[in-house]
A = this chain, B = another copy of it.
Amino acid sequence: MANCERIRVGILGFGTVGEGTYRMICDNEEEIVQKVGCPIEVRRIGIRDPKKERSLPGEFFTTDLEDIVSDPEIDVVIEVIGGEEPALSLIDLALDKGKHVVTANKELIAKHGSRLVTKARKLGLDLHFEAAVGGGIPIVQPLKHQLAGNDIVKMMGVLNGTSNFILTKMWDEEQTFDEALAGAQKAGYAEADPTNDVDGFDTMYKIAILAAIAFGKQIPLDLIHREGIRKVTQKDMHYAEVLGYRIKLLGIVEETGADDEILIRVHPTLVPEDHQVAKVEDAYNALWLHGDFVGDLMFSGKGAGSFPTASAVVGDLIDVGRNMMIGGSGSAIPYGEGMKCRPIGKLETRYYMRLVVADKPNTLGRIATVFGEAGVGLAAMEMRTLENDLGEIVFLTHKCVESSFTSSLEDVRLLDVVESVESWFRVED
C-alpha cells in the first residue's frame, strides 16, 4: 500500500490544529524528508464550512469527508475535527479502507481507544494519538515505549492549559474565578462555553488515556471522580499559600495494590509549593510520574495551541511514514477493556477545609472533638476573626480515609457553632 515516492496525507478538519499541521509539513519539509526518507504530501483537506476564507487554494478543500477517507490515493488520514461524531465513523471508515490514522482527539481515544487500536493492529495499520494528551509534550509514546518496562505507581498531571491559566491569573493577579475566566476567554484560551475545560472533562479524558496506556486497560469514564475549578476561591489560595501549598487542577491516577485496580480522579488539589507540579504556570502542561525502576520523572511544555499540537501530529505522521518505508506498520499497542476503579470514598489522603464558625468559647474544642472521635487527625490550623461575631478556621488533616473525613465533616457542619463549610480540597504530599 505504501507509495514509496511520497506519503500522501488527507487532513480532516482545518481549525487551528489542522492549519498548524499543514504549515509544519510545508515549513519543515527538509527535516521531514530526512527523517522519513521520502516527502510527505498533503493531498486533500476536509472542512465543514466551504464559505469560510482559507489560506490555501480551493482545490485542496472538500466538504465530503468520507471521500477523503475512501480516496485510494491517500495513505494516512489525520483527524483533527475533535468530538465524538463524525470523527469516530470517519476513523472507522479510514481503517476499513486500509489507511493509517493520526488523531489529536482525546474524547474519542478516551472513549473508544481500546477498540480502535485493536482494530488497527489487526489490520496491520498504525493508529497514533500523541497529540491527544499534553499537546507537543512527548508523553503518550514515551509511556508506551521508553517507560514500558516500568510498573507505573502513580501519575499526576496538569493537563488542561485553560484551567491552569485561570488558576495562575487568580494567584498572580488576585483575580476572582469569573474575572480570570473572562480574561482566558478574551485571550483565546477558553471557549464561550468553558465547561469542557473548567469542569474537568478535558483533564478526565487525558488522564484516562494515560492510565489506559500505563495500566494496559481502557478506563470506564464514569468511574473517574471528576471535579472542576469553579469552586476555587482567592481565599482558599491565600490559606493554601500560608500553609505552604498551591492549588492546581490535577488528573491523578495510582495503583491501589489490588490486581487491575486503580484509583483515578480529577480535582483541584493542594500541592506543596516546592513540588515540580506546583511550579507549572500559565497555559503550560506537565506530567509527573513515578515508576518502580525509573523513579520520579517530569515532562512539561505547552500543552495546547496550534503549533505545539501540530508538533505532536507531525511527529506521529513521521513515525507512520517511517513504518511504511520499512514495512513495519501495525505498531499500535492494543490494550484491553474493563479496568477496575476504586471508589473515591476509599481514597486515603490529607484534606484541607475552610469553615465559618461562631466566634465564641469552645467552638474549636467542639469541632476538634468531632474530628477526633471519627479518627480524623488535625495536622495544621489557621484561624481568623471575621465580622459579626464570626470566625474562619482552616484545617489540614493527617492522612485519613475519605469516607471518614466526609462523614465527620457532615457531623461538624451540623454543629450549632458552625455557620458553614465553605470549601474543602484534597491535598497531595
Q: Interface readout for A356-395 with B: 1 if CB under 8 Å, 0 if not?
A: 0000000000000000000000000000000000000000
Asked if A156 is at the interface (CB within 8 A of a chain B CB), the reply is no
Copies of this subunit? 2
Return the chain B residue nearest A214 by Cβ. Answer: B31
Task: List residues 323-354 of chain A with CB under 8 A from any CB of chain B.
Answer: 323, 326-331, 333
Closest chain-B Cβ to A283's Cβ sits at a distance in Å of 10
Assess the B136–A314 pair: CB atoms within 8 A.
no
Assess the A32–B149 pair: CB atoms within 8 A.
yes
Assess the B146–A130 pair: CB atoms within 8 A.
yes
Assess the B137–A24 pair: CB atoms within 8 A.
no
Assess the A315–B138 pair: CB atoms within 8 A.
no
Asked if A191 is at the interface (CB within 8 A of a chain B CB), the reply is no
Assess the A145–B318 pair: CB atoms within 8 A.
yes
Asked if A216 is at the interface (CB within 8 A of a chain B CB), the reply is yes
Assess the B318–A293 pair: CB atoms within 8 A.
no
Asked if A276 is at the interface (CB within 8 A of a chain B CB), the reply is yes
Asked if A414 is at the interface (CB within 8 A of a chain B CB), the reply is no
| Cα(A132)–Cα(B147), bound, Å | 15
Closest chain-B Cβ to A147's Cβ sits at a distance in Å of 6
Q: Within the complex, which residue of B136, B146, B298, B328 is in contact with A294, where a contact is CB–CB below 8 Å?
A: B136
Assess the B311–A147 pair: CB atoms within 8 A.
yes
Q: Interface readout for A294-311 with B: 1 if CB under 8 Å, 0 if not?
A: 111111111001011011
Q: Interface readout for A237-276 with B: 1 if CB under 8 Å, 0 if not?
A: 0000000000000000000000000000000000000001
A138 with B147: in contact, given A293-B310, A323-B328 (CB under 8 Å)?
A: yes
Assess the A326–B318 pair: CB atoms within 8 A.
no
Can you list 8 A-B pairs with a CB-CB distance of less than 8 A?
Answer: A20-B293, A28-B149, A28-B293, A31-B150, A34-B216, A138-B145, A148-B314, A293-B310
Closest 9 CB pairs of A and B: A328-B328, A149-B314, A136-B294, A138-B146, A138-B142, A294-B311, A297-B301, A146-B315, A293-B311
Given contacts A35-B333, A295-B302, 12 further A-B contacts (CB under 8 A): A24-B293, A136-B146, A136-B294, A148-B315, A148-B318, A149-B317, A276-B279, A294-B311, A294-B312, A298-B298, A298-B299, A299-B299
